[in-house]
Amino acid sequence: MSRQTKKKIGRWLNSLSTGILFTVLIAFMLVVISAKASGGEPQVFGYQFKTVLSGSMEPDIKTGSLIAVESIKDANGLTKGDVITFKKDENMLVTHRIIEVVKNESGVSYRTKGDNNDGPDLKPVPSENVVATYTGFTIPYVGYFINFAQSKNGALLLLIHGFLLLCYSGITIWRALKEIDSKSSNKMEA
């Protein structure tokens, strides 16, 4: 492979990686801004992403997975077999399968069970506690990374990312200056 071909491939790869990094940066920025503006959870195309912290839904949803859930406005129409995300208490969300729909004078509630659990959950889930339904989209093990990123130690990831972007920018500027210098040297020789 000639030196010219290697340079062209290098420039193409450089442009491609710059474009991908810039697109990812803009996408993250838009997600964060939209979440802050709406005062709610970050959403991408109407879906929220949740980290699975237990093995109660294995083997379908593994511990440490990132799952996509769709917000639900009216939780009264859910059926047996649906996988829902609900508020167990003020600070805890749980994703389990509906095993029974209970309708009575106080409204609709759902008996739920984790697929990997021996028995059903102790308390029925009132429909007003249901926040989302599981879409079936799962990315294994990414939840571990996100959990770490949200911890105090995970703040270092932002610094590392920023440092890498700074290094990349420095290398790009250095290469551009080197190319300009070599062009002006070639003109002086001619």
- Please enumerate, as own/partner, the contacts of 72-76 that have beta carbons within 8 Å and a separation of 24 or more: 72/130, 72/131, 72/132, 72/133, 75/108, 75/127, 75/128, 75/130, 76/107, 76/108, 76/127
pLDDT > 70? residue 188: no
pLDDT at 119: 94
pLDDT digit string (tens) for 31-82? 666 655 655 566 677 788 888 989 999 999 999 998 999 988 888 889 999 9
DSSP lists the bridge partners of residue 139 as 66
Runs of H (alpha helix) within 71-154: 142-149
What is the residue type of 31? V
- The confidence score (pLDDT) of residue 8 equals 85
Per residue in 96-150, pLDDT (tens digit) is 999 999 998 888 999 999 999 999 999 999 999 999 999 999 989 888 877 776 6
Q: Give the pLDDT score at 187.
A: 65
Distance CA 35, CA 31 (A): 6
Higher pLDDT, 163 or 35: 163
pLDDT tens digits, one per residue of 9-34: 888 888 888 788 778 777 766 666 66
Residues 9 and 32: their CA atoms lie apart, in Å, by 35
Residues in the chain: 190
Instruction: Give the pLDDT of residue 101.
Output: 95
Give pLDDT, residue 38: 57
Active site residues: 54
Which pLDDT score is estimated for 112? Answer: 96
Please give the residue that has the higher pLDDT: either 131 or 155. Answer: 131
The answer to whether residues 98 and 112 touch, using CB atoms and an 8 Å cutoff, is yes
Coil vs helix vs strand at 110: strand
Which range in 1-5, 42-46, 92-96 is most confidently predicted, on average pLDDT? 92-96
